[in-house]
Amino acid sequence: METWIPPDHPRRESLLIREKLVEGFREGIVVPQGLIAHGRGECFDYLIGERTIEPARKAIKASAALLLLARRPVISVNGNTAALVPEDLIKLSRELGAPLEVNLFYRTRERAERIARKLAMLGAPRVLGVDDVVEGVPGLSSERRLVSREGILVADVVLVALEDGDRTEALKRIGKKVIAIDLNPLSRTARAADITIVDNVVRAVPLLVEEIKILKNRSREELEEILKSYDNNKVLGEALLHIKRRLEEISLTLMGSGSTIAT
Ligand code: ATP
Ligand code: MG
């Protein structure tokens, strides 16, 4: 499947990620719209420099603290994240004792079942969001309103990735604390969330698992202290400034080196 990508291809990592999504698409886990959403993410990843930036590290630390302090944290899973980072989401679920919940923008029962089956096969302890859904998020059209009675409906903290802005705002309106993983610091999701990790899910989820392991034995007071000193708008601003400075540097280097056409 992956063998056609030359091992020395300079963009091998990025191409391998695409392969995972295409495979997910063939398995009926990823929808075509998910492939397009990934393209938007890739574009921002290119601008960021395809690495975890400092503002994302701050957001990951705050997210770990919030998830550890939560009474009922839930990890929302969609087609793209089930294709890209299923094992890491399961590790996160185990580390927190928090369920995974299949929560789809383009929901069909069949796709929800497929994703739940894949997660269960890989060893997920608890997967919600298939038979247990109710219309729990007011203000959205019916399929998008569906959440698990034992999951998002009663959760205090919800982790989402590649989420739509409308749904993030709706979750906020019903009193949830939302942690978003989103490569676009300008998206409505990024701006509506309580904590936004501006990073690729393939880098952010493993780092979040590591951070939770580190903070697991800290006192509630220490975790609350981490949250008190966290400011999401500041972090979003820093992510945008990172992109601005990086583009400035690249532009100046380009202009300094010159490139005229020999005649
Ligand atoms: P919003 O609805 O929040 O205004 P949007 O409509 O621009 O955002 P959506 O398609 O609703 O975008 O959501 C997809 C989001 O997921 C985009 O912001 C995109 O940058 C982000 N994204 C795509 N792939 C990844 C990835 N691998 N890791 C993290 N974020 C990603
Ligand atoms: Mg959207």
CATH of the domain at 132: 3.40.50.12640
Ligand 2 center to residue 39 CA distance, Å? 13
Domain annotation covers residue 253: no
Task: Give residue 13's pLDDT band: very low, low, confident or very high (50, 70, 90).
Answer: confident
**Ligand 1 contact via 232 beta carbon (within 6 Å):** no
Domain annotation covers residue 23: no
Q: What is the mean pLDDT of the chain?
A: 96
pTM summary value: 0.96
Ligand 1 center to residue 162 CA distance, Å? 4
Ligand 1 center to residue 188 CA distance, Å? 9
Domain annotation covers residue 89: yes
Ligand 2 center to residue 250 CA distance, Å? 30
Q: What is the percent of the chain with per-residue pLDDT over 90, rounded to a whole number?
A: 93
Domain annotation covers residue 22: no
Q: Are 182 and 176 in contact (CB under 8 A)?
A: no
Ligand 2 center to residue 41 CA distance, Å? 12
**Ligand 1 contact via 164 beta carbon (within 6 Å):** yes
Domain annotation covers residue 177: yes
**Ligand 1 contact via 201 beta carbon (within 6 Å):** yes
The domain in which residue 107 lies consists of 54-239
pLDDT digits (tens, 9 = 90+) for 89-124: 999 999 999 999 999 999 999 999 999 999 999 999
Average pLDDT over residues 14-43: 96
Q: What is the pLDDT of residue 6?
A: 85
Task: Give residue 3's pLDDT band: very low, low, confident or very high (50, 70, 90).
Answer: low
Give me the number of domains the chain comprises.
1
Domain annotation covers residue 223: yes
Question: Which class for 1: exposed (0-12), middle (13-18), buried (19 or more C-beta within 10 A)?
Answer: exposed
* 107-116: long-range pairs with CB below 8 Å, 24+: 107/143, 107/144, 107/146, 110/28, 111/28, 111/29, 111/31, 111/79, 114/27, 114/28, 114/29, 115/29, 115/77, 115/78, 115/79, 115/82
> Which residue is closest in CA terms to ligand 1's atom 10?
37
Average pLDDT over residues 113-142: 97
> Which residue is closest in CA terms to ligand 1's atom 30?
182
Domain annotation covers residue 28: no
Which atom of ligand 1 is the closest one to the Cα of 36?
10
pLDDT surpassing 60 at residue 1: no
The residue ranking higher by pLDDT, 236 or 10, is 236
pLDDT digits (tens, 9 = 90+) for 141-199: 999 999 999 999 999 999 999 999 999 999 999 999 999 999 999 999 999 999 999 99
Average pLDDT over residues 71-86: 98
Q: What is the pLDDT of residue 5?
A: 84
